[in-house]
Amino acid sequence: MSEPNTAAQPSQEFEKVLVNSSTEVASFDTHDKTPLQKLQHFLHSSPAAVPLIVLVLSLAAFGAILGGKFFSAFSMTLILQQVAIVGIVGAAQTLVVLTAGIDLSVGAIMVLSSVIMGQFTFRYGLPPTLSVLCGLGVGALCGYINGMLVARMKLPPFIVTLGMWQIVLASNFLYSANETIRSQDISANAPILQFFGQNIRIGNAVFTYGVIAMVLLVSLLWYVLNRTAWGRYVYAVGDDPEAAKLAGVDVKRMLVTVYTLSGLICALAGWTLIGRIGSVSPTAGQFANIESITAVVIGGISLFGGRGSILGMLFGALIVGVFSLGLRLMGTDPQWTYLLIGLLIITAVAIDQWIRKVAA
């Protein structure tokens, strides 16, 4: 009697599904990508490329129209001075947006911190250095409260920071009694409050310490976000918090840390604001929240979180500065600046949606 052909007949019930199944080795689709697809993949891997290209083109356009009046050392450094505050607050906003959140209270925290620095010095007679530390602490505390409400109580970031914006704004006016501390008084009694308004001249170029602080801050955060585990965790939390949690990331702690750091950076912006305008004013910088979001969006940072570069935010802030100065030098109505920036915002979001299809 011959042996049964065991190779032809499945010996187990579950093996019956394999009969007549394909025996080909799995292979991947290796067809060449179109130029448009290659561009899409490049922009996905280099999120700061689009705002950099727009910045270079806008500089070239205004330079061609205005010539040396625009392309001068003084004009270029003036743009940096004008965007220093937005760049610092934008850095705080970037951290939050990368976690798929948004912070509408950044401007109010900035102004309150500056008011604390001024009032603690002139109302209570504290040493200016201690007053600065108190202001930085108040900013960090506001950010910490935002983080706790978002991370621990699971409240939407938009609602939390909208409420914090109103609370901090009202507290600012109530505490300061809408009182402005004059520049002359600060110069005479607490010059350290105006530290970031001091400048270094190199020929016709004027670099304030506020500009230097902005560049150093953005450079430091770029390194942290791209070269450290903490930075990778920030992107992971923004991209997929559940996956990040399964990978061992303490998502709640990360969110609290990010919002606290954001508040601290806003307080630094408040100190820089005093140097920029010379005085302590509770009404200054009220639109910093909108301006920071504008810089973030134009800078190619996804509002859905998990994708973008802080360098893109800086480029976005500079684009706004270039348009503002260029159109002003051309003598156009200031409303054209807002119109063009609005178009840039919508275009940036549309490009982000198109780029996101790569990861879909």
**pLDDT tens-digit readout, 283-324:** 998 889 999 999 999 998 988 898 899 999 999 999 999 999
DSSP state of 34: P
Q: What is the mean pLDDT of residues 6-20?
A: 58
**For the packed helices 229-239 and 209-227, what is the interaxial angle rounded to 10 degrees?**
80
One-letter amino acid of 314: L
pLDDT above 70 as % of the chain: 90
The mean pLDDT of the chain is 89
Compute the chain's Rg from CA coordinates.
26
Separation CA 353–CA 277 (nearest Å): 38
What was the pLDDT predicted at 351? Answer: 80
Q: φ, ψ for residue 199 (rounded to 5)?
A: -135, 165
Q: φ, ψ for residue 201 (rounded to 5)?
A: -105, 130
- Domains of the chain, start order: 49-359 (1.10.3470)
pLDDT bucket at 36, cuts 50 / 70 / 90: confident
Higher-confidence position of 344 and 143: 143
Closest CA to 38 of 28, 27, 54, 49: 49
Separation CA 255–CA 7 (nearest Å): 58
Q: What is the mean pLDDT of residues 256-264?
A: 98
What was the pLDDT predicted at 30? Answer: 52
DSSP E strand stretches across the chain: 199-202, 205-208
> Does pLDDT of 160 surpass 60?
yes
Separation CA 147–CA 228 (nearest Å): 21
**pLDDT tens-digit readout, 105-146:** 999 999 999 999 999 999 999 999 999 999 999 999 999 999
What was the pLDDT predicted at 359? Answer: 54
Closest CA to 218 of 317, 324, 297: 317
